[in-house]
């Protein structure tokens, strides 16, 4: 059985689950209130099963995907310059995108006034100090790495392990094969869990409407407006500036990038878009030695659309539950969304799975993941398209920064 389909069937199934959930939720609004509350808690449980499955898979997913990506780098010294600029540009553009997410959430305020109640026993988060944040990246026990909130330490552990594998040279190849296989296996596990997604979305949609009524639909509409407008702005304005700085006419960039953009938009996976992104880079005149490294790494770690989405989602969830965020939290949200986007797997819905990490870091209710699942197919389409496009924009500039030139068009 192959799990590597285009995702179209899953997309349709999710849409059907969502619509059925809405219908059932609306129908429940006319039921007696005791029946409605009872049914709503069952529907929520159906969705919660999905979130719990995801929580379990996050630590091994982060470990294997990142360790394998780092260990795949062949020769650290020769590639040092490209890696350095890649790091600066990938992190820089994602941080900017995370900032746009915060700005979009503050301007559109999509979750304000909905008034969801935080789960029982929920304590509003205290703003962490800079020292708290620094130390939270480094857990004290190996056990702590396995918790969703220990993800940053897991990422650091996985990076160091990946470098160690590279330094071991030929000896390390065996471990690399294991990590690569582990990474593919974890992604396949996620695909298996995704089969349950349409049912979970049905459950969450029915629960949300039955419990909170149609005003939730308005909140989702505002969220998507905020996300789409700022993500398109990042794509057209920021990438134009980046490719122009790299010596490429932005119009040419948009012309060649249109195919991978649409493929990413419809498949919602940066990983499956990679071959088309490489073809576009070739047409833009980027030398192979640059894009063969930057694009596969970028597909895994550089996700501007996801960073914007995760920062905006964090703000949205805080607004929905009426939880005030301090400036320290806002700064942390940008940092967490950059890290979360780096750790996001290049698969449909990966960014919403990793949203649990961002919410966990900020101390926001993890029910937020289920709430965002409802509109994930729509939110994922554009963020994936921009994730893939950002890799190519940065690749054009990296080419110039490392002293290479774009070849004339072929
Ligand atoms: N689907 C996205 C991608 O593959 C990741 C995400 O869900 O944010 O780039």
Q: Is 270 in the pocket of ligand 1 (CB under 6 A)?
A: yes
Average pLDDT over residues 306-320: 96
Q: What is the pLDDT of residue 1?
A: 39
Q: Is the pLDDT of residue 121 over 70?
A: no
* Span 96-120, average pLDDT: 88
According to the model, what pLDDT value does residue 2 have? 44
Region 59-65: what's the mean pLDDT? 81
Residue 286 CA to residue 191 CA, distance in Å, equals: 33
269 lines ligand 1 (CB under 6 A): yes
Residue whose CA is at the smallest distance from ligand 1 atom 2:
384
**pLDDT, tens digit, 9 for 90 and up, residues 245-288:** 999 999 999 999 998 898 888 778 887 788 788 889 999 999 87
Is 234 part of a structural domain of the chain? yes
Q: How far is the CA of 145 from the centre of ligand 1 (A)?
A: 23
**Does residue 51 fall inside a structural domain?**
yes
Q: Which domain holds residue 47?
A: 4-401
CA of 141 to the centre of ligand 1 (A): 30
Q: How high does pLDDT run on average in the chain?
A: 85
Distance 352 CA to ligand 1 centre (A): 8
Please give the torsion angle defined by the CA atoms of residues 293, 70, 394 and 301, in that order, rounded to the nearest 10 degrees. Answer: 130
Residue 410 lies in a domain: no
- Residue 25 falls inside a structural domain: yes
Please check whether residue 407 lies inside any domain of the structure: no
406 domain residue, yes or no: no
- How many angstroms separate the alpha carbon of residue 125 from the centre of ligand 1? 28
pLDDT, one tens digit per residue, over 197-239 is: 789 889 988 987 888 777 677 888 899 999 999 999 999 999 9
Which of 7, 194, 299, 305 to probe ligand 1 with, by most ligand atoms within 8 A of CB? 305
Token look-up 């996976």 returns: 269
CATH of the domain at 141: 1.10.3860.10
Using only C-alpha atoms, the chain has a radius of gyration, in whole angstroms, of 21
Q: What is the number of other CB atoms lying within 10 angstroms of the CB of residue 250?
A: 18
Q: In the predicted model, what is the mean pLDDT of residues 313-336?
A: 92
Residue nearest to atom 6 of ligand 1 (CA): 351
346 lines ligand 1 (CB under 6 A): yes
Instruction: Give residue 78's pLDDT.
Output: 57
pLDDT of residue 102: 96
CA 366 – ligand 1 centroid, Å: 19
Residue 372 lies in a domain: yes
Is the distance from the beta carbon of residue 7 to the nearest atom of ligand 1 less than 6 Å? no
Residues 217 and 75: their CA atoms lie apart, in Å, by: 51
Provide the domain count of the chain.
1
* N-to-C CA span, the chain: 39
Q: What distance in angstroms lies between residue 335's CA and the mean position of ligand 1's atoms? A: 18
Does the residue 108 lie in any domain? Answer: yes
Average pLDDT, integer, range 19-37 = 91
Q: How far apart are CA 17 and CA 161, in angstroms?
A: 41
Pocket test for ligand 1, best of 341, 345, 372, 375 (most atoms within 8 A of CB): 345
Q: Which of 121 and 18 is assigned the larger pLDDT?
A: 18
- The predicted structure's pLDDT at residue 239: 98
């Amino acid at each position: 059985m192959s799990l590597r389909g285009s995702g179209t069937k899953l997309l349709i199934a999710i849409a059907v689950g969502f619509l059925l959930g809405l219908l059932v939720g609306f129908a429940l609004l006319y039921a007696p209130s005791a029946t409605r509350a009872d049914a709503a808690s069952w529907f929520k449980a159906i969705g919660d099963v999905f979130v719990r499955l995801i929580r379990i898979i996050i630590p091994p997913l982060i470990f294997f995907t990142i360790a394998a990506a780092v260990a795949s780098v062949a020769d650290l010294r020769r590639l040092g310059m490209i890696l350095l600029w890649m790091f600066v540009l990938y992190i820089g553009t994602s941080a900017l995108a995370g900032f746009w997410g915060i700005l979009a959430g503050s301007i559109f305020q999509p979750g304000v006034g909905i008034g969801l109640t935080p789960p029982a026993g929920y304590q509003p988060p205290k703003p962490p100090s800079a020292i708290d944040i620094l130390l939270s990246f480094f857990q004290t026990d190996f056990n702590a790495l396995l918790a969703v909130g220990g993800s940053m330490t897991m990422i650091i552990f996985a990076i160091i392990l990946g470098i160690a594998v590279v330094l071991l040279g030929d000896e390390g190849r065996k471990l690399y094969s294991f990590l690569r296989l582990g990474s593919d296996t974890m992604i396949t596990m996620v695909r298996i869990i995704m089969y349950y997604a349409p049912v979970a979305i049905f459950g969450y949609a029915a629960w949300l409407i039955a419990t909170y009524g149609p005003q939730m639909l308005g909140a989702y509409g505002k969220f998507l407006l905020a996300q789409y407008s700022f993500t398109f702005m990042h794509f057209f304005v920021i990438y134009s500036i980046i490719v122009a700085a790299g010596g490429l006419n932005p119009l040419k960039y948009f012309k060649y990038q249109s195919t991978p953009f649409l493929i990413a938009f419809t498949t919602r996976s940066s990983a499956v878009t990679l071959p088309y992104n490489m073809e576009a880079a070739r047409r833009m005149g980027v030398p192979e030695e640059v894009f063969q490294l930057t694009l596969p790494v970028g597909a895994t770690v550089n996700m501007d659309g996801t960073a914007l989405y995760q920062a905006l989602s964090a703000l949205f969830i805080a607004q929905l539950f009426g939880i005030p965020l301090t400036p320290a939290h806002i700064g942390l949200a940008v940092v967490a969304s950059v890290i979360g986007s780096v750790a996001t797997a290049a698969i449909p819905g990966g960014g919403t799975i990793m949203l649990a990490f961002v919410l966990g870091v900020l101390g926001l209710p993890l029910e937020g993941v289920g709430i965002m699942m409802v509109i994930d197919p729509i939110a994922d389409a554009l963020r994936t398209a921009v994730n893939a496009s950002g890799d190519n924009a940065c690749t054009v500039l990296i080419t110039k920064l490392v002293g290479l030139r774009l070849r004339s068009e072929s």
